[in-house]
Copies of this chain bind each other. A is one copy, B any other.
Amino acid sequence: MHWGDIVRTKVNAFGPLVLGIDPMPSHAPSALGSAPDTFLPQYTSALLDGAESKVGFVKFQSAYFEAFGSGGVLALARCIAMARERRFAVILDAKRGDIGATAAAYAQAYLTPGAGDLEVDCLTVNPFLGPETLTPFIDCARSFGKGVFVLVKTSNEGSGWLQDQRIDGVQVSHRIADLVSVWADETLGGYEVGAVGAVVGATYPAEASHLRQMMPRSVILAPGLGVQGGDPAAMAGMATDTGPVLISASRGITAIEDRSLSVGEYVGVVSARIDAFRRQMGVMSDKAS
């Protein structure tokens, strides 16, 4: 299914919230263990239980799996399979980027149907090496309807160091947004939403609003809620018919201080926090909770 159609369908059914899965044992119940082959699948399973029938998208952050070594990546493959079986749309936040045949190898790993056990619906990619290096990813969007999120304006405090700077009078983030907009128009799905979208931090709402207009047929992925302080209602309000805004929260939903919680209690906490985020985004009325 085309990424734009997946997004449109899931947003209609569940709203724009994306559950970010950033596994760290230090912020999870001790009962989930800490070894990669137990902790990572059990943690993911608990989060999916809490998100069931409330959230349409999960975003795995590759770094937290890689931090466990090769066993962590093996577990990532299992977690991706688990999420797909349970009908969540799966985003992998891996921010890959390289040149020529090497970029093609990344596209093979993550965005080529049937290629391997790390295949996902959508991948984040880094444009630093130049637009032509993103071609293999865009080709997967063209050929298979796979989703691509290009980093345009990231949520961190120092993202302006490069992304806000002007080159011949035009901000770097805007130069990239112009490309994303073209690639989106070349990869439209049934709902007129392109398969190529952008990462735009929820921490910069004014900038996000402008970028929303620059990329009218792209999905925007907006991280930076919760810990980083982005405003979910403001971001949700920027969505248009052809330009959905997905809003991801990770630690704001998943991190706990009291590691003695049972797994069942943890699922309850996750579920309640998801309800709270959905209310803030206007997906549920207060009464519905």
12 A-B contacts, Cβ less than 8 Å apart?
A24-B105, A66-B118, A67-B115, A69-B117, A126-B126, A128-B128, A129-B154, A129-B158, A130-B156, A162-B172, A162-B175, A165-B168
Is A83 interfacial (CB-CB < 8 Å)?
no
Give the nearest-CB partner of A158 in chain B: B130
Interface residues of A (CB under 8 A from B): 22, 24, 61, 63-64, 66-74, 76-77, 93, 95-103, 105-106, 108-110, 115-118, 126-133, 151, 154-163, 165-168, 172, 175
Contact yes or no, B76 A109, CB < 8 A:
no
Contact yes or no, B131 A69, CB < 8 A:
no
CA distance A158 to B166 in the complex (A): 19
Which residues of B lie under 8 Å from residue A158 when comparing CB positions? 129-133
Closest 5 pairs (CB-CB, A-B): A69-B116, A130-B158, A63-B105, A128-B128, A70-B77
Which residues of B lie under 8 Å from residue A129 when comparing CB positions? 151, 154, 156, 158-159
Contact yes or no, A69 B115, CB < 8 A:
yes
Given contacts A128-B162, A161-B130, A162-B127, contact A156 B100 (CB under 8 A): yes
